[in-house]
Amino acid sequence: MRKIFKIILAIFAALIIIVVTFGALLLLDVAAYTATGSQILTPTGVSVGKAIVIYDPGLSGTAKGVADKVANDLQTKGYTVTLAGIKSSAAGTTTGYKIIVVGGPVYAGALTSSTKDALANLLIDQGSKIGVYGSGQGATSPEDVAQIKQSLPIRSDSTLQNAIMVKIGSSEDLNARAQEFVNQLIG
């Protein structure tokens, strides 16, 4: 009996450790600190302008996949695109771009803290278009986009109120959804 109690106690302790570790990964947004790289994608013809896509990869990497698809679609449409991890030096310089896209995972209905920080600190040229995306589980609903909008940081300017916002669910056609998002941005 005593041996069974010790086994149950050990299993319970292991479960607590796993839950605390997973919670810390989410709350501390540890995955963002791995996004330190950047790359430039050039169009095949003459560039129609510059765009930057800043991403927090999240734990599953889906948000990075969305960023890749958005950047590739902008490149196809003639933009010179900087694809930048949220902790890269390229992500800190957002002036000089016609289109600025910032995105990352949505946990518990809100963008990650690193995504919100990037949005709060954007330096934006007059006339630049802003896009914000969140990625998460399941298909997208209007409530998802409303939650993302509510989680946006408060800025002294009205820049983010005019931003194009989407949530792209991992069960959706990422290519089609990214293309719709880009079409809204450049349209």
Q: Give the model's confidence band at 163: pLDDT under 50 very low, under 70 low, under 90 confident, else very high.
A: confident
Is residue 15 domain-resident?
A: no
Range of the domain at 101: 32-186
Tokens of 150: 């509510």
Domain count, the chain: 1
Separation CA 32–CA 49 (nearest Å):
28
Is residue 85 domain-resident?
A: yes
Task: Pick 67 or 139 by higher pLDDT.
Answer: 67
**Whole-number pLDDT of residue 101:** 96
Is residue 181 domain-resident?
A: yes
Is residue 5 domain-resident?
A: no
**Whole-number pLDDT of residue 24:** 54
Is residue 22 domain-resident?
A: no
Per-residue pLDDT of 109-142, as tens digits, reads 788 888 888 988 888 888 899 999 998 876 677 7
Q: HSE-up of 143 (CA within 13 Å, CB side)?
A: 4
Task: Pick 45 or 143 by higher pLDDT.
Answer: 45
Q: Is 105 a residue whose pLDDT tops 70?
A: yes
CATH number at residue 175: 3.40.50.360
Separation CA 102–CA 105 (nearest Å):
11
Average pLDDT over residues 44-65: 90
